[in-house]
Amino acid sequence: MDGNLFLDALACRNVSRPPVWIMRQAGRYLPQYQEFRKKYALTELFSHPDLAAEITLLPIDAIGMDAAILFSDILTIVKGFGFGLDFVEKKGPQIFPRITSAAQIQALPSFDLEKVRHVQKTITLLKETLLVPLIGFAGGPFTVASYIFGGVSEVKAFLYNYPQEMHLLLQKLTEATISYLQMQVAAGANALQLFDSWAGMLPLEEFNKFSLHYLKQIVESLKKLVPVIVFARGSSLFAEELAEIGPSCISMDFQVPMKDLRKKVPKHIALQGNLDPELLLAPEDIVRQKTKALLDAMAGEPGFIVNLGHGVLPATLVENVKAMVDTVKSYQPMASSSWTATI
């Protein structure tokens, strides 16, 4: 996939308009996805490669995103440790049995890649037809642990009480994540994103010890194979720390202007983001205006990918997502910028 906008931007050598995709693009707000949800349980959608592949393609076909993200979930991986996983309406994901003691961590079975093999099959199927790069992904170990403990407050209380056992669990999750992502790359994923969504709930010292330390191991193992993007809510707060682990790209939350973040992150690391997901609930002309303002602010940047600062909201109108994507695709760079006009 030479000369591709998305992969070029990840390598910080894009000279055309920036590529665009949005987090959680393969579900939620899409009417076609809601049709699938009427017919199948969520766990069925995640575990059947043909259905998961079809859903992955929806935002590519309907909206024209520049990259596809695998339809799966950051919690799929826990099945490899023998946990049960269910998505309960209005309550969110439930993992059972819930971990409440250090003894349960010691007793965890070793990670079995066979239990998540359907993800490999989904990627293999997708690669037969997909014309844009495919993003594989996994959760950050701290975020996955938050769900294993049934909440971010629970996991934080545990880590202050039993730091050694917490590290043991995070190390097990890290090693599992590395082999899970290696499997995704071997099947054809062109880039990877780590979602450490809850890491921003930690104070800096604990963030370094319980989140970043593990993200670093994953980035170092996988970056040799494909570009790796890291996302955390709190990424703008911890931008310098995230840059130090050497990801290919940092996906920024929406609080701090991208231009200011660019000054904090070394030029060889690409940036992704960072429109507010609630912006897509605004009138279409406001969506266009704010998207254009972001493009103007980042004009000429060779390592920039347009995205939201967090996942697209379920109530978002498809028309507004299209308005955002069209604004990026039809953007005419200023004559002074090094981006050349492309349509």
Enumerate residues 128-147 that contact ligand CP3 by CB under 6 A.
137
CB 36, min distance to ligand CP3, A? 9
Of the listed 8, 17, 29, 147, which one is catalytic? Answer: 147
Active site residue 117: no
Closest distance between ligand CP3 and the C-beta of residue 311, in Å?
4
Q: To which residue do tokens 């961590």 refer?
A: 105
Q: What contacts 127, CB < 8 A, 6 or more positions away?
A: 134, 187, 188
Which one among 11, 40, 93, 150 touches ligand CP3, defined by CB under 6 A?
93
Minimum Å distance from CB 136 to ligand CP3? 10
What is the token pair recorded at 291?
Answer: 């998207």
Interaction residues for ligand CP3, span 190-249 (CB under 6 A):
195, 197
73 is a catalytic site residue? yes
Measured distance CA(132)–CA(60) in Å, rounded? 8
Kindly state the smallest distance separating residue 92's Cβ from ligand CP3, in Å.
4
Closest separation in Å from C-beta 244 to ligand CP3:
22
Set 8, 17, 24, 233: catalytic member: 24
Binding track over 157-196 against ligand CP3, x by CB under 6 A:
--------------------------------------x-
Q: Is 24 a catalytic residue?
A: yes
CB count in 10 Å sphere of residue 85: 18
* String marking each residue 21-40 x if it binds ligand CP3 according to CB under 6 A: --xxxxxx--------x---
Site for ligand CP3 in 294-333 (CB under 6 A): 311
Q: Answer whether 331's CB lies under 8 Å from 295's CB.
A: yes
Q: Is 37 marked active-site? A: yes
Q: Is 262 known to be catalytic?
A: no
Q: How many CB atoms lie within 10 A of CB 236?
A: 23
Residues 69-88 that bind ligand CP3 (CB under 6 A): 69, 71-75, 87
Residue closest to ligand CP3 when measured from CB atoms: 27
Range in contact with ligand CP3 (rule: CB under 6 A) among 17-25, 125-133, 184-192, 271-279: 17-25
Cβ atoms of 166 and 211 within 8 Å: the answer is no
Residue showing tokens 């969506």: 287
Compute how many residues bind ligand CP3; rule: CB under 6 A: 21
d(CA 1, CA 204): 38
Q: Which is nearer to ligand CP3, 188 or 302 (CB)?
A: 188
Exactly one of 8, 29, 66, 73 is catalytic; name it: 73
Whether the Cβ atoms of residue 259 and residue 235 lie closer than 8 Å to each other: no
Taking the least distance from each CB to ligand CP3, the nearer of 138 and 245 is 138
Q: Which residues bind ligand CP3 (CB under 6 A)?
A: 23-28, 37, 42, 69, 71-75, 87, 92-93, 137, 195, 197, 311
Residues known to be catalytic: 24, 28, 37, 73, 147
